[in-house]
Amino acid sequence: MKLCVVGAGAIGGWTAAWMARAGHEVSLVARGAHLEALRRDGLTLVSRGERSHHALPASEDPADFAVQDAVFLCLKTPSIAAMLPRLAPLVGPDTVVVPAINGLPWWYFHGAGGRWDGAAIECLDPQRGMFAALDPRHIVGCVVHGAAEVTAPAVVTHTAGKRFILGEPGGGRSERALRLAGAMAQAGFDAPVTGEIRVEIWTKLVGNLSYNPVAALTLAWMHEINANERLLALIRAMIEEAMRVAEAYGVRVPVSVDERIAIAKKIGNSKISMHQDVERGRPLEVEAIIGSVAELARKAGIATPMIDAVHALIAERARHPQA
């Protein structure tokens, strides 16, 4: 496949390296010191103690590359709205766009059916500009269960997991999703195609919306949070609230609270993404990860006192990136 990874950071760099290793034609969109290092030294991936080097074309401008078979959108959510209009040179009639991102995606209600079909999540896309910038018919949903970190410019360390769950927003197992999954499996990923991508989104999200802000506020690593019973009590309360919100929108998370925490414990000694962002002074994915759930809770009349409290704290923390 011919594919472009937009946002060649932790998840994007790991994705690009494995896909290139499997023989796919990969290009990268990045910026700043990371881009300079990619051009000078190529991409280095450290995975399972092994280092691999990949000389791949890289640019700050997507227009430097032609139409792709697939575009992996691996940006932090605050950067997505500005990037979507710039993807046009990459997207042809049959191009698949895969937002491999955290939190509730802006396209969540596209193809959902029922009362909310096609609705926007206001805190993510208040003017529906994201829907206007990219026809959502190109989107194949993606939920990533894996961890990686940019440890130096153009150097990515893959620390855990390899599961990328794919699914059409409208359900079913399409030919294009199956083709992409096959290419990813060839590259070493565990890439199943589900007919219920929203179930997978919520199953991951109920953990992310609790663990990520707690990690960002405390600077604790995953294993440290899981060893602290007082923090785990907060995590449990937030997960329970989020599961009630999911059910109000027709999704039942297929694991218990303790089972979801057990999934998080398998990640081991990892530095959670929002913790990484705080340390680097980067914008935090507050609205996608927790604010969007608080918004949906209000619309559905679901009480979420713990989510609301932590949302207030992490939103204020995000206003002080250098503190």
Catalogue all structural domains in the chain, each as residue range(s) with its CATH number: 2-195 (3.40.50.720), 198-318 (1.10.1040.10)
State the CB neighbour count (10 A cutoff) for residue 101. Answer: 23
Residue with tokens 């096609």: 118
Q: For residue 214, which amino acid is it?
A: V
The whole model's pTM is what? 0.94
Q: What's the token pair of residue 36?
A: 């300079």
Other Cβ atoms less than 10 A from the Cβ of 33: the count is: 11
Residues counted in the chain: 323
* Beta strand 2-6 pairing with 58-59: unpaired
pLDDT of the chain, 323 residues: tens digit per residue: 999 999 999 999 999 999 999 999 999 999 999 999 999 999 999 998 889 999 999 999 999 999 999 999 999 999 999 999 999 999 999 999 999 999 999 999 999 999 999 999 999 999 999 999 999 999 999 999 988 889 999 999 998 889 999 999 999 999 999 999 999 999 999 999 999 999 999 999 999 999 999 999 999 999 999 999 999 999 999 999 999 999 999 999 999 999 999 988 887 788 888 998 999 898 999 999 999 999 999 999 999 999 999 999 999 999 998 76
Instruction: Look up 204 and say whether it is catalytic.
Output: yes
* Phi, psi of 130, rounded to the nearest 5 degrees: -70, -40
Catalytic residue among 2, 76, 204, 265: 204
Start-to-end CA distance of the chain, whole Å, equals 43
